[in-house]
Structure 1
Amino acid sequence: MKMNSVCVVISVIFFFVAFFNISPAKAEKGSDYREGSTPEEVLLQEKGGVLLPRGVLVVEPGFQYSHTSRARIAISGFTILEAIAIGQITTEVTKKDVFTTFLNLRYGLAHGWQVDCKIPYLYRHDRYSWQEDSATREKTVTDEDIGDISFGISYQFLYEKGSWPDAVLNLRVKTHTGKDPYHIDTDDRGRPEELPTGNGHWGISGGITLVKRSDPAVLFGSLTYFYNITILKEQLEIMERFVLEPVWISV
C-alpha cells in the first residue's frame, strides 16, 4: 500500500510537470519572481487572492498537526430520580493525533488563469483507554498513507481599481486517493485496527475570493460551497457544506 502511495505521488508530479511543459528554467523564474515580490504580494499569492504570472511555478511544502480528545460514558442499567445510577458504568477516552505533510504545486497560466495541486501524506496515532472488569485497558493504533489529492483552477476576473477589489473564482476537485473509513478492519468491540487517511468521497468545491489592500493591512475573504459525493449501496448521495471565511491580516 505504501509503495502504491509513492507511485501515485510521483505520477501526479510527473503529469503536472509534463502537461504544462515546466522546465527547471521556469521553476527558477518562479523563484526569482517570488524574491522580487513584496511581502504583501507573497502573502496574497499564498492565500489565493492574486494569481501567479504566466510561466511561474511555485512549489510549497507544508506541515499541519491536529489533536483531538473525547471522553464517553455509557451506563448499562437504569437511574433512580435522575441522580442514582444502578448498573454497569463504562468510560472510554479517545485521543487522536494527526500529522500531515503536504506539497502544493501552483502554476500560472495566461490571461489570469492558474492551476494547482495539493498532495497530502498523513501519519495518524490514536489511543483508546477504557474501564473493563475494574481495570483500565489501553489500545494504540498507528497508520500512515497518502491523503486525498486535490486539483484546482482559478481565474482572476476583476483587478483592484479604486474601490473595486481583486476577485478570483476558484474551482477544486478532491479525489479519494486516501484510505477511506468504510473499509478498515476493526476488532470485536468495533475499535479500528487501521486508520483512514481520507474521507472516502469525491468532492467538488467552487467559490470566490475577494482581496482589498488598505495600507498597512490587507482585507480578504472567501465564499466557498462544497459538494462531497459518495456512493453507498449503489445510491448517489450528495452532502453539501457552505463556508464563509473572512480574514483580516496585518502586513
Structure 2
Amino acid sequence: MAKPLLYSLPLLLLAPPLFAETQDPATDAKRAQTVADVIDRPGVLTPAGQFGLEASLNYSQNSSNKVSIVGYTVLPALVVGLIEVSDSDRTTITAGLTGRYGLTNATELEIRIPFVYRNDQISARPISSGASDETINKDLDGGGIGDVELAIRHQFNFETAPYWIGSLRIKSDTGKSPYEIDVDPLTNVLNDAPTGSGFWSVEPGISMIYPTDPAVLFASVSYIYNFENDFDISGENANIDLGDTISLGAGLGFAINRDLSLSFGLSHQTILKSKVNGRTDDEAKLLQLDSLTLGINYALSPTTSLNVSAQAGLTEDTPDFQLNVRIPFTF
C-alpha cells in the first residue's frame, strides 16, 4: 500500500516539498522554497493560480525470516514434528507524477499517479526432515499503475506561529489488488505481484509547523479509514474490512544556507486489526510501524529543487530501508 504518512506530514523534507515561492531581496527573483524560507514567508502551499509538478522515485527494500513449528516439544531442546524456515525479500520501486494547483494562497489541490514495479523472492524448506533442497522457490515480478490519489490542503493561519495545515487525502483502488490475484495451491503464494491495496480510503490529517530561526519544528497526526470491499476468494464471496491506520510524526528541519536544508524525523503508525465477513480472525494482530527519516533539500534553480530522503525501519513490520528522490518544479 502506499506509503501511508507521506501526505500527512508537514510540507517539509519528509513530505511533498515546499512549492511556495519567496522574493530574494538581492535579485527580486522567484526561487524554489527551502526550510529557511518558511521563516521569512509562512505560506507553505502552492500560491494562488500557480501550478507545480513533481517527479518522484521511491525504492523500498524489505526482508523477512520466519521459523514455523508444527508439532510438540518433549524437552525444551527436543521438538517432534516439522520445523520450516522461510525467507522472503521484497523490492518495490515506485515512480510517481504529482500535480499541484493553488486555488488560493491558503488552499491547494493535488493529484498523484504512481507506477509500481515489485519483485518478491520467497524460499522455504523444512530443516527437521533432512531436506537439502528448498521445497518452495517463488519469484514474483510485475508492475503497473498503482492507486491514484487526490488531496486538498488548507493553511489556517499566516500571522502567528505555529502554522496549522489541514489536509484530506482520498486514495482509489486503481492498482492491482492482492485479493484479485490467484494463489498457487502448492506454495500458498500469489501468482503475480500486486500494485495496489484494493480498497478506497480517506485520510484526514492536521500538521503543525513552528519556525524558530534557523530551524523549523513540525508535527502531524492523521487517520486512514479504509472502506470495506467484497472479493471472490477461492470461489467464495468474502467481505474484507482492512484495518484503519493511526499515523503520528514529528521532526526538525534546519537551514544550512538559503538554498540547502536538512531534516530528520520520526514517524509512527498503528494499523488496527482487519475483519473478514464481520469477524476478526484469531491470528489478526495490531501492527506497529516506526521509522527514522533523514533528508536533504537543495534549490537547483529559482523554480526547481532536489529532495533526497532515506528512511530506516525501527520495528519488525516496517520496511527495512526506503530511499526517496523528488524533483519538484513550478510554472
Please tell me the TM-score bracket, short chain as reference. 0.7 to 0.9
Q: Residue type of the partner of 2:188?
A: G
In structure 2, C-alpha distance between the alignment counterparts of 1:31 and 1:218, rounded to whole Å: 17
- Equivalenced residue count is 216
Q: How far apart are 1:57 and its partner, in Å?
A: 0.8
- Give the one of 115, 120, 128 matched to 1:121: 115
- Give the one of 170, 193, 201 matched to 2:191: 193
| 2:77 counterpart residue number | 83
Secondary structure in 1 aligned to 2:228?
strand
In structure 2, C-alpha distance between the alignment counterparts of 1:248 and 1:35, rounded to whole Å: 25
Secondary structure in 2 aligned to 1:135?
coil
Deviations 1:195-247 (A, max 9, x none): 11111111101111111211111112212121111223585847432212112
| 1:179 counterpart residue number | 176
Contact persistence 1:229–1:238 (CA under 8 A): yes
The aligned runs of 1:1-251 (5 Å cut-off) are 35-40=30-35, 50-110=44-104, 112-131=106-125, 133-137=131-135, 138-161=137-160, 164-188=161-185, 189-232=187-230, 237=241, 239-251=243-255
Contact persistence 1:50–1:168 (CA under 8 A): no
Q: How far apart are 1:41 and its partner, in Å?
A: 6.5
Q: Identity of counterpart residues, as a percentage?
A: 31
Deviations 1:97-143 (A, max 9, x none): 11111111111012521100111111101101122643125221101
TM-score (norm 1): 0.77
Q: How far apart are 1:248 and its partner, in Å?
A: 0.8
Q: Residue type of the partner of 1:157?
A: F
Distance 1:80 1:236, change over 3 A: closer
CA root-mean-square deviation:
2.6
TM superposition outliers: structure 1 runs of 4+ over 6 Å: 30-34, 41-44
Q: How far apart are 1:180 and its partner, in Å?
A: 0.7
Deviations 1:8-49 (A, max 9, x none): xxxxxxxxxxxxxxxxxxxxxx999994244236789xxxx7
Secondary structure in 1 aligned to 2:35?
helix
Secondary structure in 2 aligned to 1:136?
coil
Distance 1:94 1:38, change over 3 A: closer
In structure 2, C-alpha distance between the alignment counterparts of 1:128 and 1:43, rounded to whole Å: 46
Secondary structure in 1 aligned to 2:70?
strand
Secondary structure in 1 aligned to 2:85?
strand
Contact persistence 1:108–1:115 (CA under 8 A): yes
Q: Residue type of the partner of 1:198?
A: G
Q: How far apart are 1:54 and its partner, in Å?
A: 0.9
In structure 1, C-alpha distance between the alignment counterparts of 2:159 and 2:239, rounded to whole Å: 45
Secondary structure in 2 aligned to 1:226?
strand
In structure 2, C-alpha distance between the alignment counterparts of 1:192 and 1:240, rounded to whole Å: 24
Contact persistence 2:173–2:200 (CA under 8 A): yes
Q: Residue type of the partner of 1:86?
A: V
TM-score (norm 2): 0.60
Contact persistence 1:31–1:58 (CA under 8 A): no
Higher mean displacement: 60-69 or 137-146: 137-146
Deviations 1:154-200 (A, max 9, x none): 11121142xx3221111111101111111112212211110111111
Secondary structure in 1 aligned to 2:227?
strand
In structure 1, C-alpha distance between the alignment counterparts of 2:139 and 2:38, rounded to whole Å: 40
In structure 2, the gaps of 5 or more residues are 1-19, 24-28, 231-236, 256-331
Contact persistence 1:58–1:106 (CA under 8 A): yes
Q: Residue type of the partner of 2:102?
A: G
Q: Residue type of the partner of 1:197?
A: T
